[in-house]
Chains A and B, each alone.
Chain A
Amino acid sequence: MWSYILKRLLHMIPLLLGVSLLTFLLMALSPGNYFTALLQNPQISPDTVARLKAQFHLDRPWYVQYVFWIKNVLSGNFGYSMAYKISATSLIMARLWNTFLLSFTALIIAWGIAIPLGVWAAVRKDSWVDHACSLFAFVGLSVPDVLLSLLALWFAAATGWFPVGGSESPLNDFLSPAQQFWDHVHHLVLPAIVLAASDLAGIMRRMRSCLLDTLRAEYVTAARARGLGEGWVIYKHALRNAINPLLTIFGYSLASLLSGAFIVENIMAWPGLGRLTVEAFFAKDSYLVVDSVVMATALLVAGNFVADLLLAWSDPRIRLK
Chain B
Amino acid sequence: METTIAIVKTQPALSPWRLFWHRLRRRKIALTGGVTLIFLYAVAIFAGFIAPYRYDQISDNAFFHPPVWPRLQGFRLVVPRSEQMPGDFVYRQISNDTRPLHFFIRGGKYKLLGFIPCSLHLFGTGDDNYSVYLFGADQFGRDIFSRLLYGSQVSLSIGVVGILLSFSLGMIVGGISGYFSGWTDTVVMRFCELIMSIPALYLIISLRNVFPPGMSSSQVYAMIIVILSFIGWASMARVIRGMALSLREQPFILAARSLGQSHLKIICRHILPNTFSYVIVAATLSVPYYILGEVVLSFLGVGIQEPQASWGLMLNAAQNTEYMQRFPWLLAPGAAIFVTVLAFNFLGDGLRDAADTKSL
Q: Do chains A and B touch in the complex (CB under 8 A)?
A: yes
Cα–Cα distance between A255 and B203 once the two chains are bound (Å): 12
> A19 and B210: CB pair below 8 A?
no
Q: Which residues of chain A are near B194, meaning CB under 8 Å?
A: 15, 18-19, 22
Give A114 to B190 CA distance when docked, in angstroms.
Answer: 32
A29 within 8 A of B: yes
- A18-32 vs B, CB cutoff 8 Å, 1 = contact: the mask equals 110011001101111
Chain A hits for B338, CB < 8 A: 142-144, 147
A297 close to B202 (CB less than 8 A): yes
Q: CB < 8 Å: which of B196, B208, B288 contacts A281? A: B208
Complex-state Cα separation, A141 to B289, whole angstroms: 11
Are A154 and B209 neighbours in the complex by a CB distance under 8 Å? no
Interface residues of B in 202-247 (CB under 8 A from A): 202-203, 205-212
Q: Pick out which of these stretches binds chain A: B99-107, B131-139, B159-167, B295-303.
A: B295-303
A254 shortest CB reach to chain B, Å: 9
Chain A residue at minimum C-beta to C-beta distance from B196: A255
**Chain B residues positioned under 8 Å from A263 (CB to CB):** 201, 296
Rounded to whole Å, the gap between the CB of A215 and the closest CB of chain B is: 13
- Choose one: B193, B212, B328, B345; the contact of A141 (CB below 8 Å): B345
Q: Does B200 count as interface, using CB distance less than 8 angstroms?
A: yes
Per a CB cutoff under 8 Å, which of B202, B210, B321, B331 touches A296?
Answer: B202
Distance (whole angstroms) from the CB of A202 to the closest CB of chain B = 10
Question: What chain A residues lie within 8 Å of B193 (beta carbons)?
Answer: 15
* A157→B328 CA distance, assembly (Å): 13
A-B contact count (CB 8 A): 132
Contact A296 B198 (CB under 8 A): yes
In the complex, A177 Cα to B5 Cα: how many Å? Answer: 89
Q: Which residues of B contact A293 (CB under 8 A)?
A: 198, 202-203, 205-206
Q: Which residues of B contact A122 (CB under 8 A)?
A: none
Please, how many angstroms separate the alpha-carbon atoms of A66 and B83 in the complex?
61
Which residue from chain A places its CB closest to the CB of B212 in the assembled complex? A31
Query: Is A267 interfacial (CB-CB < 8 Å)?
Result: yes
Q: Return the contact of A157 from the options B197, B325, B337 (Cβ within 8 A).
A: B325
B207: chain A residues within 8 A (beta carbon)? 26
Stretch at the interface among B88-96, B172-180, B312-320: B312-320
Contact A301/B202 with A26-B207, A147-B334, A154-B325 known, Cβ cut-off 8 Å: no
User: Smallest CB–CB gap between B218 and chain A, Å?
Assistant: 19
With A and B bound together, what is the CA distance between A289 and B210 in angstroms? Answer: 12
B292 on the interface (CB 8 Å rule)? Answer: yes
Q: Are B206 and A153 in contact (CB under 8 A)?
A: no
Instruction: Kindly state whether residue B260 has any CB partner on chain A within 8 Å.
Output: no
Q: Which of A268-321 contact B (CB under 8 A)?
A: 273-274, 277-278, 281, 286, 289, 292-293, 296-297, 300-301, 304
Q: Indicate which residue in A146, A157, A278, A292 contacts B321 across the interface (CB closer than 8 Å).
A: A157
B329 within 8 A of A: no
Tell me if B79 is interfacial: C-beta within 8 Å of chain A: no
Q: A164 within 8 Å of B by Cβ?
A: yes
A151 to B318, CA, bound (A): 10
Contact of B256 with A by CB under 8 A: no
Closest residue on chain A to residue B198 by CB atoms:
A297
Interface presence of A158 (CB below 8 A): yes
Could you give 12 example pairs across A and B, Cβ below 8 Å? A22-B194, A23-B198, A138-B349, A142-B341, A146-B296, A146-B312, A157-B324, A259-B202, A266-B300, A281-B209, A286-B209, A293-B205
Taking A22-B198, A138-B349, A146-B315 as known contacts, 7 extra A-B pairs with beta carbons closer than 8 A to each other, sorted by chain A number, are A142-B345, A143-B338, A144-B292, A146-B312, A164-B321, A293-B202, A296-B202
